[in-house]
Amino acid sequence: MRLADARALVPDLLTAPGEPQADRRLIESIANWCDRYTPWVAVDPLGGALAEEGAEACSAGGFGGDAGLLLDVTGCAHLFGQGEAGERALLADLVERLSRHDLTCRVAMADTAGAAWALARFAERQADLLCPAHGQRAALAGLPVDGLRLDAPILETFLKLGLRRIGDLYPLPRAPLARRFGDRPLTRLDQALGTLAEPIEPRRPAPAFRTRLAFAEPIGRPEDIAAATSRLLAALCRQLEQAGVGARRLEIALYRVDGSVDRTAIGTSRPNRDNPRLMKLFEEKLGELDAGFGVELMILAAPEVETFSGAQDALPDSGAIATSLGEDGTIDLADRLALRLGAENVVRLLARDSHLPERVQTTGTAAKPAAAGAWRRVADLKGARPTRLLQRPEPVDVTAIVPDDPPSLFRWRQHAHRIVRAEGPERVADEWWRPRPDGSRPPANIVPPYRDYYRVEDDDGGRFWLFRDGPYTLAANGRPAARWFLHGFCA
């Protein structure tokens, strides 16, 4: 129906333009909020797909064609009461809390996502919304076939054939049905009835370890949030200890009274379940959190964990044990620095076996320093090296008396340096066995490109590390083809 037709029928019709993006944001925020019940929350994939295609409305109705959240509450309902009473209480709680935010919703619970989907949209009586265990076959029988999450053409054909209710499909032979409509209707039917598994894909990976703390009264003071974090952390650390793992990443979420969620995370450079240390890291981050009008629920989760056997407590006065385990506080310091400066800015220097000077020094994580003596070996193998190495060699203009000689003058950044002493060349050839950066391999039968390095000293005593890129040859215009570069500064 067009807007003009609708206006003709109801003259004082209220209209508002559709805003799929805003709808999307709303459903995302409700999904975030639903994390309070279970970590397994998914935005209904069917609704999402339809919204992306720009379909006007899903056959199931709903606003913007993009309504619906799937929650896997397996093992969560008992928190609200025993057995079916708990499930009922969970549903009531969900509806009640959502209605506080002026949201009208229909919530159904069933053994399968498909059955719950159909019930939430097409159940006629309120009592049908909670489908008892293994009762989905009976519950679905009376519902229209639209409840099967099928495309519109199939549904139209079903209606033409007189298949109006899902129950009408039960007695039909499966093979002819599949031949005529493809396997889609049967798959959907099996999924709804539970003979075919349909996993829910959660929006964010469900953490294996999490703790929650709900407050009777919303809290807002930073001290209260810090105290609550410390309690959550203590509980989580116990969980981690029982499982024999340590957290690499911890995420804390504040569920505010207005339904929004604020999150922050900390990372550690090695598995950790040391309560005071983690709390210290959190203290840096808690300032960034905004409690808004108040926080009613906090959830602390460990999305990334690693096996961690734990460190044995050192005996008093046995400093040697503490340092041998790296317990001297350096790792904690690195974590704290990385939290503010970024993990890529707090690094260890690692030695790499390479002839190319710029490839020798690489960086690694703060928790894993180079092996003792690795650098000594690298330094002993090579000639004199500069104390500073330019990240990219800078071209210099060079004057030499004899073509193949070390230069007698070079000009770098507008300054001329007259060379008094020079030492070299040290020839460094390209590593032909290593693939080039573009992935290709250099041909084996040619002489690999090389550099001739010279250590030079200018009349001021400044020492530089220069190289000529390739052999001395003359280009077509009579000028030297090989260029000179400055690569480092010596002590």
The residues binding another protein (CB under 8 A) are 323, 328-330, 332-334, 336-337, 340-341, 345-349, 351, 357, 360-361, 363, 366, 369-376, 378-379, 382, 384-392, 394, 412-413, 415, 417, 420-423, 455-457, 459-464, 488-491
* Token pair listed for 211: 């703790």
- Minimum Å gap between C-beta 296 and another protein is 35
Give the residue among 34, 78, 482, 458 at the shortest CA–CA distance from 253. Answer: 34
Say what angle helices 275-286 and 222-243 make with each other, to 10 degrees.
140
- Minimum Å gap between C-beta 327 and another protein is 8
* Token pair listed for 295: 């926080």
Q: Give, for 36, the enclosing helix (H) or strand (E).
A: none
Residue burial 16-54, b: 16+ Cβ < 10 Å; e: rest: eeeeeeebbebbeebbbbbbbbbbbbbbbebbbebbeee
- Minimum Å gap between C-beta 365 and another protein is 11
- Minimum Å gap between C-beta 246 and another protein is 20
CA pair distance 248, 394, nearest whole angstrom: 41
* Token pair listed for 175: 């093979």
Enumerate the β-bridge partners of residue 389.
Answer: 488
Q: Please spell the DSSP secondary structure of 122-187, one letter per residue.
A: H--SGGGGBPPTT-HHHHHHTSBGGGG---HHHHHHHHHTT--BHHHHTTS-HHHHHHHH-SHHHH
CA pair distance 172, 306, nearest whole angstrom: 52
CA pair distance 27, 33, nearest whole angstrom: 10
List the beta strands (DSSP E) in 35-122: 41-43, 69-71
Which CB, 329 or 435, lies closer to another protein?
A: 329
CA pair distance 44, 23, nearest whole angstrom: 13
- Minimum Å gap between C-beta 488 and another protein is 6
The type of residue at 309 is S
Phi-psi region of 206 (alpha: psi -120 to 50; beta: other; left: phi over 0): beta
Enumerate the β-bridge partners of residue 399.
Answer: 409
- Minimum Å gap between C-beta 269 and another protein is 11
Which CB, 213 or 389, lies closer to another protein?
A: 389
Which CB, 257 or 347, lies closer to another protein?
A: 347
Q: Would you say 253 and 298 are in contact if contact means Cβ atoms under 8 Å apart?
A: yes
- Minimum Å gap between C-beta 409 and another protein is 14
- Minimum Å gap between C-beta 403 and another protein is 18
Q: Give, for 194, the enclosing helix (H) or strand (E).
A: none
Which CB, 149 or 455, lies closer to another protein?
A: 455
- Minimum Å gap between C-beta 6 and another protein is 58
Which CB, 278 or 346, lies closer to another protein?
A: 346
Q: Give, for 383, the enclosing helix (H) or strand (E).
A: none
- Minimum Å gap between C-beta 266 and another protein is 16
CA pair distance 166, 112, nearest whole angstrom: 15
- Minimum Å gap between C-beta 462 and another protein is 5
